Every structure is written in C-alpha cells, then in structure tokens.
Amino acid sequence: MPTVRLPALFRERCGGATAVTVEGSTLGEVLLALDRRCPGIFELLVEGGSIRPELAVAIDGETGSYLLDEPVPPGAEIAILPAIAGG
C-alpha cells in the first residue's frame, strides 16, 4: 500500500503522524483514503479536481504536476511539498 508523507503543519489532522499508509492505486484514490483517516485533508490539497498549484507532489521521488488519476504503484511513497520556481 502507498505511504503518504505529510508536511509538518498538516500532521495534526492525522493525530501527529508523519506518514500514513493507505489503500489506493491512483493519486486520487490515495488522497481520498487519506482523507478518511485525516478528515479534511483532501480539500486542503485538491482544488477543482486538481492538486492546488501552490503544491507539488512527489511519487517515489519524482516531483511533478500530476492528475488525480496518476497511477500509484503499490508500496509507493508520496510526499507533499511546496511548489518552487527556478530562475
């Protein structure tokens, strides 16, 4: 099952956990499953069906702008981080 690593300020929604392992084979399924464990977190991360533009998601180390139907391999590690810009 995929594991989601949570940013520090979102952890209080998940009882202080730094990472939560949940079911799901797409990014959207994983985040919905996460929301059942940590109520309200889906809405925090997703706006209008997409990951908020201020945020980036890394799946197994690959940071990108993913759709919610992005396949997530079993055992994948997902991190949520601020989007950044280069010069």
Partner 1 sequence: MTTIERPRYQVIGTRPIRPDGVEKVTGRALYGADVRLPGTIYGRVLRSPHAHARILRIDTSAAERMPGVLAVVTHRDLPAVADGIQNLGETAVNVRELAANLLADDKVLYHGHAVAAVAAVSPHLAEEALGAITVEYEVLPPVLDVREAMREDAPLLDESRRTKNIAGQVVGERPSNIAMHHRFEAGDVEAAFAKASVVIEREFRTKMVHQGYIEPQNATAVWNQDGTVTIWTSTQGAFAVRGQVAELLRLPVSKVRVVPMEIGGGFGGKIPVYLEPLAALLSRKAGGRPVKMTMSRTEVFQATGPTSGTWIRVKAGADAEGRLLAVEAELCYEAGAFPGSSVNAGAMCMLAPYDVENFRIDTYDVVVNKPKTAAYRAPGAPAAAFAMESVVDELCRALKMDPLAFRLKNSSREGTRQVSGVPFPRIGHEECVRAAMESDHYRSPIEGPNRGRGVASGFWFNGGMQSTVLVAVNPDGTVNLIEGNTDIGGTRASLAMQLAEALGIPYEDVKPFVADTDSIGHNDVTGGSRTTFATGLAVYEAAMDIRRQMVARAARILNLPEEDLEYVDGGVQSKSDPSKRIGFKEIARQQARTGGPITGKASLVARGVGPAFSTQIVDVEVDPETGKVTILRYTVVQDAGRAIHPSYVEGQMQGGVAQGIGWALHEEYCYDEQGHLLNANFLDYRIPTALDLPPIETVIVEVPNPAHPFGVRGVGEVSIVPPLAAIANAIYDAIGVRFTDLPISPRRIVEALYGGKEG
Instruction: Find the binder of partner 1 among 23, 52, 73, 75 (CB under 8 A).
Output: 52
Size of the site for partner 1 (CB under 8 A): 30
Q: Which among 7-15, 25-33, 67-75 is the span making contact with partner 1, rule CB under 8 A?
A: 7-15
Q: Residues 6 or more apart from 34 whose CB is under 8 A from it?
A: 4, 14, 20, 22, 41, 42
Q: Residues 6 or more apart from 81 whose CB is under 8 A from it?
A: 7, 55, 56, 57, 58, 63
Among all chains, which residue has been given the structure tokens 């010069």? 87
Q: Which is nearer to partner 1, 5 or 37 (CB)?
A: 5
First to last CA, the chain: 37
Q: Which among 22-30, 31-39, 63-71 is the span making contact with partner 1, rule CB under 8 A?
A: 63-71
By CB under 8 A, name the binding residues for partner 1: 5, 7-10, 18-19, 44-45, 47, 52-56, 58, 61-65, 77, 79, 81-87
